[in-house]
Amino acid sequence: MLAKNNFQFKAFNPVQWKGGRYKRIPGDTSVFRVIRHRGGEWVIQAYIKDADETIICQALSSPAEQELISAINSIKQRYGYHNGGSFLINEFGQVLVPINPTLRFCAGQINGILLFKNLDTGIIINLADDQGLEPGDFWDRPYVGMWYNLSRKKMSCIIGITIKMKRSNHRCKINN
């Protein structure tokens, strides 16, 4: 089922994010990236692992997507970094832009669903579509949410579900 592209972004005056025990989910496919695409335009990409290959997906272009890219690049430039790079979206829709391992900014808030297009097949991918998934199934898409460190033990929580991560393949086990 194809979701309607109702993605919206509202930029904030960037504020330093002091979100406590937030941490990036391990792996190369867990974040979104702003990159310069062929032709010089800036786009948002996400990577999806499929067997042994990585599938590159690009966000569908919209005015809200361009506002999001501008907000991220503005923060990077303000602190002396190059345009582009990774960013995260937490479970509240807040866009978090890491500058370095200890400095992050909240760039704004999203509403709706950011749809992606598989650049190889042209298929539209909805990251909110979890039809057919059961607890413990492999999640091959970027995460919308954050890794919470609840304690110094190896227990973490993503979007309110307590899990243990196997770093080798990013398969999550839900602990009841």
Query: Distance from CA of residue 174 to its chain's centroid?
Result: 21
φ/ψ of residue 58, rounded to 5: -120, 135
Is the Cα dihedral 129, 131, 133, 135 positive or negative?
Answer: positive
Tell the residue number behind the tokens 């998934």, with chain if given.
Answer: 133
Q: Is-contact 87 93, C-beta < 8 A?
A: no
Model confidence pLDDT, tens digit, residues 140-158:
666 665 555 555 555 444 4
Instruction: Tell me the per-residue pLDDT of 63-119, one tens digit each, with 9 for 90 and over.
Output: 999 999 999 999 999 988 899 988 888 878 889 898 887 788 999 999 988 899 999
pLDDT in tens, 51-75: 778 888 999 999 999 999 999 999 9
* Length in residues, the chain: 176
